Chains A and B, each alone.
Chain A
Amino acid sequence: MIFDLTPEIIPDKNNQKKYLYARTILFVLALAFAFYAAFTIIFPTRYFSFSFLNPNSTANTITSPRDENGNAPDRGKIIANRNFLFDSTLLGNFSEAKIIFRLNKKSTEIEGEDVSVRRSYQAFLYPEEKPIGFKDGALLKNKENYYIVSDEKLRKFDTNILSSLGFNINAFEEVSADELKYNVPADDISNADNYPNGSLFKINQEYYLLMNENLTKFISEKAYLSQYSAEMAIEKSTDFLQKYSQNESEIGFADGSLVAYGESAFVVSDNKSFPIDSIETFEALGYSWADLITVGGDEASFYTKEQLLDLSGAHPNGTVFLISGQTDFGKKYIIKNGTKHLLPSEKIAASWSKTNPIAVSAESLATSSNCNFGKKWLLSKTYSCEASVDGLQNLLGKDYKFSVVFGEDIKVDSAELQFKKSYTLSNLKRFTANVIKNIKNNYVGQD
């Protein structure tokens, strides 16, 4: 008998047939399990949940359930006619999302309510505010006119004042009149004794920014170069430090920069650093390894260390997104305080960020999948709906954003999400292609 580990032990005649049957059943069951395991790996189901009765539990895997104002529901109470939102983070492509709400016994019914699902990065789905212009300190030129962006406003230099102030003419970037209109015009600069806010200086190999008659030092040359080019700074001797008072605080890297210190990578923003918890998260957030700036202990310690940025985290302030789909190709957006702003031109975008932008799909904003809540059974307080997310598979981004408006106030005990992959040939092909791609990346190198 093949694969028999104990051939010397032979059951008596009566039992031989029984053993053969039992053995066949065991091998068939093993084969069935192997098929089942293969199926669950190729066509997996992912589960997420949130208990509104225990909202601080670490077991909650649905990200930030909230109303349109960003407020978390109080003990599961969701207010009527307000957009109720929640997110989940998921790698890979799935075909179907099942949303399950378990209502409190005293809650009103929610049959027929419409749930909408979008896919992108959480931050790219933030509401859009007005476009923004060049960053403070930008030196611009249009025809014969020279400008500096100071306190977000556009200030023109009077003729002949540039050289007396010491600005390098080559540092001024030629821009169109259209690009200038995104910064509100302010008074011309006519005083050769005083520098406008946003002026940059290089004193003793250190860089400074002038703001409100105060000089603020950059923590390092690398930090300065992450925001401005070297020729934008006016070289001065140490005597210049007597003219303006020095600010105690310092300026770090451009918001949204990626820095590496030791074995760790961080995103820095608003003087805070967010340690990225894994390579998987780094890549899932769409970051590029080429953008990592290696920093020393002094630079790293400038930042207040925040909690780990994990897979469900959102991009911080200063992150720039680039639309890479067919629609609106090349448009860039910057994240600022929970909103996104269009960067109307390539030059405006370059003034804000020197790193590679995060690729997103414009269709993420327009495409959504919908479904209606239905009761599980007649007296049940469990409602579910299944939305097909097949159409969102080609969109870039790791986050799914769910939104629903309830007609009446309701009270939810818990919510669940199930993402399923349907048993189709295209999903099997996609899985195989993904495995081959990963093996190639592992053994041959990145594509």
Chain B
Amino acid sequence: MWDKTNFLNKYEVIIFKLLNDLLFLLMAFFLLLIIADGILPGIISNYYDPAIIIILILSDVLLISFLERKLNLKLIQKSNKKTVCSILFIFILLMANAFFHLNIWLNLFLTLASLLAGYFIYRVFLDE
């Protein structure tokens, strides 16, 4: 007979890794959605609610953190400069695109202001 507890104990590392893979896929879908909707508003969000992907990502992150604690895993916190730079670049483009119809200087000012606000919010979280 199938034993759920035994199954989870036996495959918890695989499940943990699969949840991480799923997180990667969900993030890729989300990035694709915001880029496509940024270029042409509604092209995806008219059919698929972005909130669903966000809920899925958050649930996945919760499960990952739960399993991480349960398995007592020591994950290495590393930041890949290339990834950070490319994500930041995409975010700058998306922000500038959101203000596309504004005057170029106002657009630059708002993009920079948004980036600064984002940076300070990040610092607040990091300090705590």
Chain A residues close to B by CB (< 8 Å) = 3-6, 8-9, 11-12, 15, 18-19, 22-23, 26-27, 30, 34, 37, 40-41, 44, 435, 438-439, 442-443
Q: Given that A26-B25, A37-B48, A41-B44 are known contacts, is A19 also in contact with B17, CB under 8 Å in the complex? A: yes
| Cα-based distance from A37 to B40 in the complex (angstroms) | 17
Chain B, 32-84, CB within 8 A of any chain A CB = 39-40, 43-44, 47-48, 73-76
**Residue of B11, B21, B22 ringed by the most chain A CB atoms within 10 A:** B21
When the two chains form their complex, are residues A41 and B43 in contact, meaning their CB atoms are under 8 A apart?
yes
CB proximity of A420 to chain B, nearest CB, Å: 14
| Cα-based distance from A18 to B17 in the complex (angstroms) | 12
Chain B hits for A26, CB < 8 A? 18, 21-22, 25
**A8 to B, closest residue via Cβ:** B76
22 of the cross-chain contacts (CB-CB < 8 Å) are A5-B20, A5-B23, A6-B17, A6-B75, A8-B76, A9-B16, A9-B17, A9-B75, A11-B17, A19-B18, A22-B14, A23-B17, A23-B21, A26-B22, A27-B21, A30-B29, A37-B44, A41-B43, A41-B44, A435-B40, A435-B43, A442-B40
When the two chains form their complex, are residues B40 and A18 in contact, meaning their CB atoms are under 8 A apart?
no
CB proximity of B47 to chain A, nearest CB, Å: 5
When the two chains form their complex, are residues A3 and B24 in contact, meaning their CB atoms are under 8 A apart?
yes
When the two chains form their complex, are residues A443 and B100 in contact, meaning their CB atoms are under 8 A apart?
yes
| Cα-based distance from A443 to B44 in the complex (angstroms) | 19
Q: Does B102 contact A (CB under 8 A)?
A: no
Number of interface residues of B (CB under 8 A): 24
Q: Does B13 contact A (CB under 8 A)?
A: yes
When the two chains form their complex, are residues B47 and A40 in contact, meaning their CB atoms are under 8 A apart?
yes
Chain B hits for A3, CB < 8 A? 21, 24
CB proximity of B8 to chain A, nearest CB, Å: 13
CB proximity of B44 to chain A, nearest CB, Å: 7
In the A-B complex, the 5 residue pairs with the closest CB atoms? A5-B20, A19-B14, A30-B25, A11-B13, A6-B20
When the two chains form their complex, are residues B17 and A44 in contact, meaning their CB atoms are under 8 A apart?
no
Chain B hits for A11, CB < 8 A? 13-14, 17
When the two chains form their complex, are residues A27 and B25 in contact, meaning their CB atoms are under 8 A apart?
yes
Chain B hits for A442, CB < 8 A? 39-40, 100
| Cα-based distance from A18 to B12 in the complex (angstroms) | 12
New contact pairs (8) apart from A5-B24, A19-B14, A34-B29, CB-CB < 8 Å: A4-B20, A8-B74, A9-B16, A9-B17, A37-B48, A40-B47, A435-B40, A442-B100
CB proximity of B34 to chain A, nearest CB, Å: 15
Chain B hits for A5, CB < 8 A? 20-21, 23-24
CB proximity of A43 to chain B, nearest CB, Å: 11
Chain B residues close to A by CB (< 8 Å) = 11, 13-14, 16-18, 20-25, 29, 39-40, 43-44, 47-48, 73-76, 100
Partner of A438, one of B14, B40, B100: B40
When the two chains form their complex, are residues A15 and B11 in contact, meaning their CB atoms are under 8 A apart?
yes
**B15 to A, closest residue via Cβ:** A22
Chain A hits for B13, CB < 8 A? 9, 11-12, 15, 19
When the two chains form their complex, are residues A41 and B20 in contact, meaning their CB atoms are under 8 A apart?
no
When the two chains form their complex, are residues B47 and A44 in contact, meaning their CB atoms are under 8 A apart?
yes
When the two chains form their complex, are residues B47 and A41 in contact, meaning their CB atoms are under 8 A apart?
yes
Chain A hits for B24, CB < 8 A? 3, 5
Chain B hits for A443, CB < 8 A? 100
| Cα-based distance from A27 to B16 in the complex (angstroms) | 16
Partner of A22, one of B18, B40, B43: B18
| Cα-based distance from A44 to B16 in the complex (angstroms) | 36
CB proximity of A27 to chain B, nearest CB, Å: 7
**B101 to A, closest residue via Cβ:** A442
**B10 to A, closest residue via Cβ:** A15
**Residue of B13, B47, B75 ringed by the most chain A CB atoms within 10 A:** B13
When the two chains form their complex, are residues B16 and A439 in contact, meaning their CB atoms are under 8 A apart?
no
| Cα-based distance from A8 to B16 in the complex (angstroms) | 12
When the two chains form their complex, are residues A6 and B47 in contact, meaning their CB atoms are under 8 A apart?
no
**Residue of A9, A11, A12, A26 ringed by the most chain B CB atoms within 10 A:** A9
Chain B hits for A6, CB < 8 A? 16-17, 20, 75
**B22 to A, closest residue via Cβ:** A26
**A33 to B, closest residue via Cβ:** B29
Chain A hits for B73, CB < 8 A? 9
CB proximity of B42 to chain A, nearest CB, Å: 9
When the two chains form their complex, are residues A439 and B40 in contact, meaning their CB atoms are under 8 A apart?
yes
**A38 to B, closest residue via Cβ:** B44
| Cα-based distance from A374 to B44 in the complex (angstroms) | 35
**A3 to B, closest residue via Cβ:** B24
CB proximity of B39 to chain A, nearest CB, Å: 6
Chain A hits for B23, CB < 8 A? 5
| Cα-based distance from A216 to B74 in the complex (angstroms) | 85
Chain B hits for A18, CB < 8 A? 11, 14
When the two chains form their complex, are residues B25 and A15 in contact, meaning their CB atoms are under 8 A apart?
no
| Cα-based distance from A333 to B21 in the complex (angstroms) | 61
| Cα-based distance from A3 to B18 in the complex (angstroms) | 12
Chain A hits for B11, CB < 8 A? 15, 18
**B23 to A, closest residue via Cβ:** A5
Chain A hits for B48, CB < 8 A? 37
| Cα-based distance from A442 to B41 in the complex (angstroms) | 10
Chain B hits for A22, CB < 8 A? 14, 18
